[in-house]
Amino acid sequence: MKIGVPKEVLEGETRVALVPSAISALTRNKHTVHIETGAGVMASFSDREYQDAGATIVSDAVELYRAGEVILKLNPPQMHPQTGKHETLLMNEGAAYLGYLAPFSNMDTIRHLVERRITSFAMEFVPRITRAQSMDALSSMATVAGYKAVLIAAHHLGKFFPLLMTAAGTVPPAIVLVLGAGVAGLQAIATARRLGAKVEAFDPRPAVKEQVKSLGATFIDMEVTEQVETTSGYAKEQSEEFLRKEREVIAARLPKADVVICTAQVFGKRAPVLITKEMVSLLHPGSVIVDLAAEAGGNCELTVPHLTAQVNGVSIVGAVNVASALPVHASQMYAKNITNLFLNNFPKESAVPNFEDEITRGSCITHNGAVMNESIKSALAQNTEAKHV
């Protein structure tokens, strides 16, 4: 199959969907790879490196999409600034797409994919099963974000992170509070500990307590009265009463915290508000909140995506697309994930997806002019109905 990798057009994006070292896994299986000129430059991968790895460099986006039977991307399809067309309209009718889709917030894109009979696979819908771990881009990018979030906090904090014994006196370690102990949260804990901070972590799931403690952090307990996790392993949306209890537990820790790293998200939903505007006043001036849930509404009520707000001396960082700040390794990890998903979904040089496979079925969003995922099909119907009211 002819695989096309376009240059990402999202403003501020530096990553690329495929890196030179991943190309051999595709060409070994008789696929050809076409890369748009400059697609990897922001991630430090030159056109020459792609050529040396066996890819063909294509001069512009229109030609790239025309050549591709399968398009590998990172960000969901959107308006292409140079061509003035939506990226789904640049794809060949009946082609295949692999990449993020964020379907619940991109219903028009889903409609375009259906109309053009494009078979699409969403990276965020890869099932959370053992066999799919090497395809789990959500975890890969969360690892990058968790690491970078601590570095962002250290940049804004006017203190050292580690305990220092100096001739000028003893400098106590910074106190870091991490909200959410998923992949991003655990990486944030590990990074803050490496920098020498004293770390506390809060998560309503008792099952993560041992993971938190194994990284040298203190786990903040609370009584759990609801189911907090879906069968797929994602955090579950909680009742307002449960969130109120969570906020009480968190509020008790804020007066001593120098840094708060927010990582709590609910798949396909608005992020839970764990820090209200009143709670921000409990933090001392000079402290920092880095909100990795900013794009999903924010765990802090005062978070503004893309901006660093100052509220009573507290810096609130609305962190968005954090993984693009480390494009080399983020691209390498993502390329491994998407290559493995492609080879799983199109096995043995086949141009037909293997829908007998659980991963293929689970990650497929549209196929042959229809929406395949039931939750998205329902959301699309509701969205269409709302448009006609």
pLDDT(231) > 60:
no
State how beta strands 119-122 and 96-99 pair.
parallel
234 is catalytic: yes
Question: Which amino acid, one-letter code, is at 161?
Answer: F
> Any idea which fold 2-125+327-387 has?
Rossmann fold (3.40.50)
pLDDT(388) > 80:
no
Q: What is the pLDDT of residues 139-179, one digit of tens each?
A: 999 999 999 999 999 999 999 999 999 999 999 999 999 99
User: Which of the four pLDDT bands, split at 50, 70 and 90, describes residue 369?
Assistant: very high
Active-site entry in 133, 281, 310, 350: 133
- Mean per-residue pLDDT for 52-57? 98
Cα(first)–Cα(last) distance of the chain, in Å?
43
315 is catalytic: no
pLDDT(239) > 90:
no
In whole angstroms, give the CA distance from residue 184 to residue 181. 7
Size of the chain in residues: 389
> Any idea which fold 144-320 has?
Rossmann fold (3.40.50)
128 is catalytic: yes
Domain boundaries, the chain: 2-125+327-387, 144-320
State how beta strands 70-72 and 2-5 pair.
parallel
Alpha helices in the chain (DSSP H): 23-27, 47-52, 61-67, 87-90, 107-115, 137-156, 183-194, 209-214, 240-251, 277-280, 327-345, 358-363, 374-387
State how beta strands 70-72 and 218-220 pair.
unpaired
Active-site entry in 111, 234, 247, 253: 234
pLDDT(60) > 70:
yes
Active-site entry in 78, 139, 253, 361: 139
In whole angstroms, give the CA distance from residue 256 to residue 283. 7
pLDDT of residue 331: 98
Q: What is the pLDDT of residues 336-368, one digit of tens each?
A: 999 999 999 998 767 789 899 999 999 999 999
Lowest mean pLDDT among 197-201, 228-232, 240-244, 289-293: 228-232
Q: How many CB atoms lie within 10 A of CB 329?
A: 16
Q: Which residue has the tokens 């962002």?
A: 152
Q: Which of 182, 190, 295 is nearest to 233 (CA)?
A: 182
The reply to whether 144-320 shares the fold of 2-125+327-387 is yes
Active-site entry in 111, 128, 247, 361: 128
User: Which of the four pLDDT bands, split at 50, 70 and 90, describes residue 222?
Assistant: confident
Active-site entry in 50, 97, 100, 136: 136
pLDDT(223) > 90:
no
139 is catalytic: yes
One DSSP character per residue, 289-339 reads EEETTGGGT-SBTT--TT-EEEETTEEEEE--SGGGGSHHHHHHHHHHHHH
Which residues does 100 contact at the CB level (< 8 Å), separation at least 6? 73, 74, 75, 76, 122, 123, 124, 137
Q: What is the CA radius of gyration of the chain?
A: 22
Laid out side by side, the sheet with 370-371 consists of 56-58, 32-36, 2-5, 70-72, 96-99, 119-122, 364-367, 370-371
